[in-house]
Amino acid sequence: MLKAIILIGSPQKGTRFRPLSLEIPKPLFPIAGHPILYHLIESCAQLRELREILLIGCYQPNEALSRFIANAQQTFNTSIRYLQEYASLGTGGGIYHFRDLIKSNLSDKDVFFVINGDICADLPLVEMLQFHRENVGEKGFTILGTEATERQSTNYGCIAWDKQTNEVKHYVEKPSTFVSTTINCGVYVFTKFIFQILSETYRNNQQLYNDSSSAFTNYDLGFSRENIRLEKDVLSKLGGTGQLYVFPMGNKFWTSIKNPSSVIYANRHYLELYRMYHPERLYKQNDSKGPTIIGDVFIHPTACVAPSAVLGPNVSIGQDVTIGYGVRVRESIILGSCVLQDHCCVLYSIIAWNSTVGPWSRVEGTPNDPDPNKQFSKIEQDSLFQDGKLHPSITVIGNNVSIPGEVVVLNAVVLPHKEIGSSSKNQIIL
């Protein structure tokens, strides 16, 4: 028996992802034609023994989420349930709160995966499980690790480990000084024994809250008393105890999705994975009738693309999109029901649902890729603003935006439901 838990967060999370997370929960945002969650569930579905996937989050159940779950259950032939937290309980609090549901039908030897819902990766879950079974005892846990640069590592959970045994000697979440270039990917193999540790953490936290001498606690910051931070409260304590092991994922693709730029990066990698494992999902150039395709391109079957359009590399076109004559799109995601009118050009941009780009207009962002000169470099996960200024980044057009003909929109973020009057550069259009 094997289960997977995916932490999908809450509407309060995903602030760096706005305005794209204003419409739908971030884990439902489509990359390479499918929601982030779909890709994670697809990775889980490779585990033959998998019987159930539990999504834990703090979103009100809504139509988009229910429809997604119903479709995914059918596609992957697995039971998928959504468990709603009454408040944001943190990365460990939700798991603890729903412990009875998670534990049901699991024997002491059975394991379950916990996966952060804001990562995109070529997840080696089968290999990780095999590693866990062959190397880690019944009371031990495994964490998936990848490499980062020294400078970037401190933005993540850092893992110092014994290269011979893979035992984690030290775990520090977002340290202030360098600890290790191996970082936490947000994927864990746990056994039921994790609940003993979560239960101790819960009791300690309650003690802290009840202790009047602790003047400044999470509770004061507006968190629920049941909030448990898996990384800071639990993993940090497991380092050096012989209970935590790391499975390094090598050079495989991994990124967390914090800001819109990381979506363009993940889109490129998922399209590359399609090319390797599901070439049927990529659009195949049709010599006489279809558009010109460069590199990897996903086009939803309902989209209507003029034959003289040129798309790619690394472009995803959503449901019911219309693309006119002479349109050029590169390194971009065009979401459902958008209209790109004749001869417009879209580069390094995300255009959200139901938006229109007028004829001969140009929508362009600045590429924000990992530094190609630094091995293991990750994409920068800055927020859009820094020191009150807009950071040069990809261009993000919110949903229901109308861009007229013959304008240039460069390095801009346009909030939903706007009609742009003229060209704009390095601006946030509210």
**Residues at the site binding ligand GTP, with contacts judged by CB under 6 A:** 7-10, 13, 56-58, 85, 88-91, 94, 116-118, 186, 256, 258
- The nearest distance, CB 179 to ligand GTP, in angstroms, is 15
CA distance 316 to 320: 12
Q: Is 146 left (phi over 0), alpha (psi -120 to 50) or beta?
A: beta
- The nearest distance, CB 286 to ligand GTP, in angstroms, is 39
**Residue with nearest beta carbon to ligand GTP:** 9
- The nearest distance, CB 58 to ligand GTP, in angstroms, is 5
Our CA angle for 11, 16, 22, nearest 5°, is 45
Counting beta carbons within 10 angstroms of the beta carbon of residue 218, is it exposed (0 to 12), middle (13 to 18) or buried (19 or more)? middle
- The nearest distance, CB 233 to ligand GTP, in angstroms, is 12
- The nearest distance, CB 392 to ligand GTP, in angstroms, is 21
CA distance 86 to 92: 14
Q: Which of 221, 262, 352, 258 is nearest to 14 (CA)?
A: 258
H-state helical runs in 136-284: 150-153, 194-210, 236-238, 260-277
Interacting residues of 333 by C-beta distance below 8 A, sequence separation 6+: 30, 31, 263, 264, 267, 315, 316, 318, 349, 350, 351
SS3 state of residue 236: helix
- The nearest distance, CB 256 to ligand GTP, in angstroms, is 6
> In terms of CB distance, is 114 or 340 closer to ligand GTP?
114
> In terms of CB distance, is 58 or 412 closer to ligand GTP?
58
Q: Which of 77, 86, 93 is nearest to 42 (CA)?
A: 77
> In terms of CB distance, is 31 or 58 closer to ligand GTP?
58
> In terms of CB distance, is 117 or 312 closer to ligand GTP?
117
H/E element, 72: helix 63-76
> In terms of CB distance, is 25 or 312 closer to ligand GTP?
25
- The nearest distance, CB 273 to ligand GTP, in angstroms, is 20
Give CA separation, 264 vs 80, 182, 245, in Å: 28, 24, 32
- The nearest distance, CB 28 to ligand GTP, in angstroms, is 12
> In terms of CB distance, is 97 or 192 closer to ligand GTP?
97
CA distance 295 to 315: 9
> In terms of CB distance, is 125 or 410 closer to ligand GTP?
125
Beta-bridge partner residues of 190: 112
Q: Check: CB of residue 146 under 8 Å from CB of residue 182.
A: yes
> In terms of CB distance, is 153 or 411 closer to ligand GTP?
153
